[in-house]
Amino acid sequence: MKWTSGDRSNIEDARGSSGGGMGIRAGGLGVGGLLLALVLSWATGIDFLSLLGGGGSVVPPSADVQPSGPPAKTSAAEESAVDMVDAVMDDAQSTWEQVLGGRYRRTTAVLFRDAYQSGCGFAQSATGPFYCPADHKVYLDLGFFGELQSRFGAPGDFARAYVIAHELGHHVQSLMGTDAQVRRAQSARPDQQNALSVALELQADCYAGVWGHHAAQGGGAGSHRVTIETGDVEAGLKAAAAIGDDRIQRMQTGHVAPDRFTHGSSEQRVTWFRRGLDSGDPNACNTFK
């Protein structure tokens, strides 16, 4: 995947006002074990820090912390990742402006380290990348990208772009009212809570594919800051498969519990991501049938 740097107007850089002064404590877990537990917690909805006996806790920041730019200690690789997030956010949103017209409203990705106060409450790395419908923003700790590559075998910029586009898919769901409808249905039918969560996540995967389709055709309207190359689609499909609930459960516990799925199996995630890639049409993404 090729992309061009911009003015970073699609991100809010909170790395300098998060993490420092806040500590994540997880008993005797090393850094690698802690990060794996955090990723597993995001992907499955299970608190693996508690299961591992770490008693993970985070010292919260002040309520008035606001984005304040990059931290004192950063690297060229990290800054490149920041520019990549900005490019994907811009390109994907240009696509959705083309697809949805005036119904689409732009948002930003908030980059933080370790922990941060989001519009949906206190955010920490344990939640992984997420979308907050209260403030309509995507939240991301860049450390997740390293875990995506080292622990789950999904390297490359397009695998990372898939994660970002998935979270923007939740933004589309919020704008279209799908998210609110699902929350009401979950309240009315608690026995269907996980099944509805899976359907919502798979639709976000399909929406990520819709962007991938348009990027492969030359992008959406606007800046065309991302170019899809040979092998990128395979990388995206590999990422979708890598973080399927069944694969992660099998890695952690040795068995699969479909009733605990929150995001869908590897096969389901690949299927719906590919449906969006092939069609480029959000109307093909009805996972609730």
Q: What is the 3-state secondary structure (H, E, C) of 169-206?
A: HHHHHHHHCHHHHHHHHHHHCHHHHHHHHHHHHHHHHH
Closest CA to 165 of 243, 87, 100, 79: 87
Do 288 and 204 touch, CB atoms closer than 8 A?
no
Check residue 251 and give its pLDDT: 58
Highest mean pLDDT among 137-141, 156-160, 235-239, 259-263: 137-141
pLDDT range class, residue 255, cuts 50, 70, 90: low
For range 237-266, the mean pLDDT? 66
Query: Where along the chain do its domains lie?
Result: 2-284
Average pLDDT value over all residues in the chain: 79
What's phi and psi for 79, nearest 5 deg? -65, -35
pLDDT range class, residue 15, cuts 50, 70, 90: very high
Examine the pLDDT at 287 and tell me if it is beyond 70: yes
Other CB atoms closer than 10 Å to residue 221's CB: what's the count? 13
Q: What is the pLDDT of residues 175-227, one digit of tens each?
A: 999 999 999 999 999 999 989 999 999 999 999 999 999 998 875 444 578 98
pTM over 0.75: yes
Examine the pLDDT at 32 and tell me if it is beyond 80: no
